[in-house]
Copies of this chain bind each other. A is one copy, B any other.
């Protein structure tokens, strides 16, 4: 039953790349970056590694408006993102007041088993110049 994860070159490559970037990147971008840096990793493997990491909570997944998923290495624990529309750079933020608000609203409407999605988009300082 234990997932018995194996440490392979390609898996490590994905992890290493991801920890070196603090912006959200698509699976295909990550694949391209690996190729560019000389690592030979199949696109399939990139997808599979990202899926595993996401499940393990090692990366955060964001669904963009064009339906493409974007990945980023993130601190564990519950948090939300302030993302730059232009360059994809990210600030992790906590939203304690929002958490409370969400729960209250949900309860008032008879909803249970509540979760939520909060995200702020904008232009970061560098990109707004």
Query: In the complex, what distance in Å separates the CA atom of A116 from the CA atom of B69?
Result: 18
Write out the residue numbers on chain B whose beta carbons fall within 8 Å of the beta carbon of A115: 120-122
Does A102 have its Cβ within 8 Å of any Cβ on chain B?
yes
Q: How many copies does the complex hold?
A: 2
A121/B110 in contact, CB under 8 A: no
Interface mask (A97-129 → B, CB under 8 Å = 1, otherwise 0): 110011001100111111111111111110010
Pairs across A and B, CB under 8 Å, 23 listed: A63-B65, A67-B69, A82-B106, A82-B109, A84-B111, A85-B113, A91-B109, A95-B105, A98-B98, A102-B120, A110-B124, A111-B120, A111-B123, A112-B122, A112-B123, A113-B123, A114-B121, A115-B120, A117-B117, A117-B118, A117-B121, A118-B118, A118-B119
